[in-house]
Amino acid sequence: MFPGLETLGSGGPIIAVLVVLSLSSLALIVVKTLQLWAVRSGTALRANAFEQWASGDKYAAQQALEAGRSPADRITAYAMAALAKGFRGPALEAELVRRGNEEVARMNHLIRVIELIAMIAPLLGLLGTVLGMIQSFQELEMAQGAANASVLAGGIWQALLTTAAGLLVAIPAALGAGLLSARVESAAQMIESAAGRLLLLDHNPPL
């Protein structure tokens, strides 16, 4: 993907850092994708559990959600268990908010690192370009204007290469972080919706 470090002059160390950041971001994206794969699942499972709860079969509703894999399933199962034990009111709502926030924080874990890589990679690329340009003009000054134009051009393209490398690292990282954040946001909305629906059923049981 990148040229050998020996051909990059002063940009070599920065390219090496960018390679490490690229591999790290790709690994994190894969890990988070696997972790978040099921966070939006269980819609039909919860709908069935709500029907059982509304019909009065509260134990079956709780049992149905025990097989759930999503945060919304876990929060709903806890809420059902709490309501079955008589735990209601603002205290229960506060506890559901706390548990929901914990689930969201768990899902967001490491996504910030991917976002950070997406932010600093272009800056590192720009730094490499600036350092390479400085080196090229220093060589031109030392040659007192007699430097070979092809040598100077080679130094410039090697310097610009670090900017391109920074963008190649930043673009996939930014895309991955955006898609993962959207998935977390959708899962958080499902948690809120499921908890709200259950509390509504509890306050207003069907006739």
Chain-centre distance for alpha carbon 22: 15
Task: Give the per-residue pLDDT at 38.
Answer: 93
Chain-centre distance for alpha carbon 30: 10
Residues 6+ apart with CB under 8 A from 129: 11, 159, 160, 162, 163
Task: Give the per-residue pLDDT at 9.
Answer: 47
- Is 186 strand, coil or helix? helix
- Is 9 strand, coil or helix? helix
The helices-and-strands tally (H runs, E runs) of the chain is 7, 0
Q: How far apart (Å, rounded) are the C-alpha atoms in residues 88 and 94? A: 10
Cut 0.95: pTM above it: no
Tens digit of each residue's pLDDT (9 = 90 or more) over 68-123:
899 999 999 999 999 988 888 899 999 999 999 999 999 999 999 999 999 999 99
Task: Give the per-residue pLDDT at 130.
Answer: 86
Residue of 98, 70, 96 whose CA lies nearest to 186? 70
Task: Give the per-residue pLDDT at 7.
Answer: 46
Q: How would you write 48-73 as a 3-class SS string?
A: HHHHHHHCCCHHHHHHHHCCCCCHHH
Q: How far apart (Å, rounded) are the C-alpha atoms in residues 91 and 72? A: 19
* pLDDT less than 70: residues of the chain: 1-11, 143-155, 205-207
Q: How far apart (Å, rounded) are the C-alpha atoms in residues 2 and 9? A: 13
